[in-house]
A and B are shown apart, each in its own frame.
Chain A
Amino acid sequence: MSKKVLVLGETREGALRNVSFEAIAAAKKISGGREVVAVLLGEAVSEFGNELIAYGADRVITVEHPHLKSYTSDGYGQAFMAVVDQEQPEAIVFGHTAVGKDLSPKIASKLQTGLISDVTDIEGEGADAVFIRPIYSGKAFEKVKLKEDGVVFISVRPNNIAPLEREERSGDVSSLSVDITNLRTIIKNVVRKSAEGVDLSEAKVIIAGGRGVKSKDGFEPLQELADLLGGAVGASRGACDADYCDYSLQIGQTGKVVTPDLYIAAGISGAIQHMAGMSNSKVIVAINKDPEANIFKVADYGIVGDLFDVIPLLTEEFKKVM
């Protein structure tokens, strides 16, 4: 049985997030050929509609309202439920992002349905689709499905499901007018702590530093390499605790969970709580002075050496070939 699927599109810093394209690809699998409808919520978002169509959405619905400028669960909840009432979807896909994590349980509760969170892979199509998600901080996986008929609702972890090829296509972008009232949360301010540019949870390349980086300045060579490769800088909690960098960079069980194509760990020992956040990266490179460091156990490639020698040389070497 095929399913009509709604996908929540998200923007960040005036552009669509990659995870939205990945969510559309997931929706296509679940839809088994039926319609995939993307939803955009915000103050002024209709300009992004066509890009969602280029990545595979058949149709886009926007809800624009001044109260949707900042995310609140009340505002977004009312807007999204209005779209659900109009479209009567059989499946819903969100990104497992700050917004997705906060909003999806509320929508699932209102629809009295199951929600399969943080999905990294999908097996099968249409009604036979089965969802794979990490449990126990990435140390195991489970395969889950919806038990009965009802709305299939999943959130997909960024960087795991490949987006479809971008194609010039046409599709309808329409707007739905919704009365957004009674917001119980008032957003006062957002203090920007994360780095400009590439978002850590969506980066294809991450250069992560640990206590071995030794100072704030020690992160500079890592940043240089990240910039060259179009990636982002991350960190262990050891580095954050030592105040070499902001906690917004922390990767691990109590930080961000990342799955880039390439993860370079420099001066990180490889504590179990750190590995919980990065062990599912596609390729892991470890650079550490200590040949016995735990990080070498998960690394695909390892260099035993001083990161302050290795990282600048790596940057030079990549410059030669790129």
Chain B
Amino acid sequence: MQAVELQNLSKIYPGGKQAVKQITLSLNQGEVFGFLGPNGAGKTTTVKLLNGMLIPSEGNCRVFNIDPVYEPEKVHAISGVVTEHAQMYDNLTGLENLIFYASIFGISSSESEKDANSLLKQLNLEEAKNRKLSSYSTGMRQRLSLARALIHHPRVLFLDEPTSGLDPESAQNVNRMIQLLAKNEGITVFLCTHQLRYAQEICTRYGLIEEGKLLVSGTLEELRAKILARITLCIRATKVPDMLSFKKIGDQQYEIDICSENEIPGIVRQIIESNGDIYAVSAKKPTLEDIYFALTSNAKEDLK
């Protein structure tokens, strides 16, 4: 069974704005899926559709084979959601908030208190746990939201920009936690984010969405193949033969675009044969960021 499935999913808002256009997509269990796209692409709308907060205009979606249109409560029972707008109560402390949400999920306070404390510890909120939320900073609230989404041991996590307000250290900590949850507990993660570098570290697969349309989806390697990405080979060496058509970018620094890693030994051999000294060789593959820009600009050209 697929953890999350979208079939030809579309949403037109009452004003006539089509925010999601016929997206078909599926997530395996334990996958960390990075849902990427510029502002207004339709990421939040997709998360809301998957949770039954919005009714699709066309197509359907399922979370562990439950349709959120007909049984939203069942979807909610197995999923944890973090969005920018899902806030908690200012007049309760961090710990009290977690215990309250656990109780709504039918977990008794004696049971949830232990889990709440361990989540608070993992998210570095231990000192703040007995303080009212009104004294929390944005980043603390955001981390508490993640704890709230995890308090009932969900099978799927929907995270809409969970690290956007976090400092680099907390963001890294949260990302590591998400990665471990997927690896050790088999939780499926649907992650909407703009932070491509973090996404590349933790996601196993990606989907790129722009103006409601899913441009591509797949693993990093699959995406690289899609954009016919070239590898950039950087070499620091002396006496590089001119026939190799390297671009000189600094003192003893050279760069060339190649199609495959198989070309590297040949190039290195040629430099050595012409008595060059090699100090460093590195092959740079396109990053997620490179792919993102390549694809989103491609799409723009297609539209023209």
Q: Do A and B form a real pair?
A: no
Interface of A with B (CB < 8 Å)?
none
